[in-house]
Amino acid sequence: MNLWKRAILHVDMDAFYASVEQLDHPELRGKPILVGGSPESRGVVSAASYEARRYGARSAIPMARAIRLCPQAVVIAPPRMERYREVSDLVFAIFNRVTPLVQPVSLDEAFLDVTGCQRLHGDPVAIARRIRLSIKRETGLTASVGVASCRSVAKIASDLDKPDGLTVISVEETLERLAPLAVSRIWGVGPVAGGKLEKLGVKTIGQLREWPEDALVNVLGVAGSSLYRLARGIDDSPVEPDGEEKSVSHETTFARDVCDLGELETVLLGLAEKVAERLRRRGLAGRTVFIKLRYDDFTTLTRRKTLPAATCLAAAIARHGVELLRDRTAAGKRPVRLVGVGVAGFTDQPAQKVLFRETEQDDARQERLERTADRIREKLGKEAIQRASLKFRG
């Protein structure tokens, strides 16, 4: 069996709402269907059947315009969301039988990380085939699946052979397969970025690769940096199941109430370190730092602040946590029985791509330091590095 080091599936139902309508109403099969808001209320198309797409009708355009393009279309307005949700549940139940690592993008689209279930379910291509078969059997509908070693390439792949397609792009093939594709195939490249790239003469992903990273950053800002990587099929963003925690925090309850501000700060530092380690392990970074405090009379409060950029660094979390503690609580004046610190407001960017505007150089060095500490801890156990990694800037 051919085991993949990392295997991500992107599953996308074909013309989902329209297909459900054709499933439930056999007389509509083979006919152009438009599902969405009514033209009178200036509605928008949510889904167009493939028969309607031939005339240029597609989702996200005004319904009135779609009807002009394809006057013979059967219009279904409003959409029967309840029914689509029902079918969607069947589809997601199939995903969940394969792996718990399912990240829904919408009712009809999801990423699956199948890296860890290859021994159980077979190689990723076999898994993709089985999923497509189950969907067809259990719902009567077709799905297109992309198989790759990261999310962005899987997403591109699922779209290459729609409808009812299965496209596999292995790590080895990635550069070659991406090269001839339009840059707009990359998730996140919209008309604005696309226009800027076209001015540079960049139309394909292969042409995009001819540009150095700093040139792309000049033209597109931070996005240029991630484009540089995505054009090379480099994307280690994790598949994050829905309902995942929306914050990462640690707290501690004291055996005896603490009045000393310095003591509280030291404890908070240790907690910040644990928070940062967990953030980095999960590839997360967040823009909100918060603290939790419980006084001796059990009054509990949280204080939060939003940072200019996301962080996954113990030093930054501790710095802002201590600031909140000093400025916005009565710590040091009233006895405290519990203190906690956490990070929320996760950004889509993987932590290592986050830019730190204020103290960029410092933070980059700090991040390297803390990551090295993570690795040593992993190898030698928790006790190997204690506070040494934490360069606290109070």
Nearer to Mg ion, 16 or 356 (CB): 16
Query: What are the strands, taking DSSP E only, across the chain?
Result: 8-13, 33-36, 45-48, 74-76, 102-106, 109-113, 143-148, 166-168, 247-258, 286-295, 300-311, 336-346
Q: C-beta of 177: minimal distance to Mg ion in Å? A: 21
Beta bridge partners of 104: 110
Which of 108, 265 has the CB closer to Mg ion? 108
Catalytic (active-site) positions: 109
User: CB-wise, 46 or 389, nearer to Mg ion?
Assistant: 46
Residue the block writes with tokens 């059967």: 74
Pairing between strand 166-168 and 143-148?
Answer: parallel
User: What is the DSSP code (8-state) at residue 239?
Assistant: P
Q: Which residues pair with 371 in a beta bridge?
A: none
What is the end-to-end Cα distance of the chain in Å, rounded? 54
Q: Which two tokens stand for residue 257?
A: 């109430």
If you search the block for the tokens 């939790």, which residue do you land on? Answer: 292
Contacts with Mg ion, residue ranges (CB under 5 A): 12-13, 16, 108
CB of 108 to Mg ion, least distance (A): 4
Question: Min. distance of Cβ 109 from Mg ion in angstroms?
Answer: 5
Other residues' Cβ atoms within 10 Å of the Cβ of residue 387 = 12
Least CB distance from residue 142 to Mg ion, whole Å? 10
For Mg ion, give the closer residue by CB, 139 or 389. Answer: 139
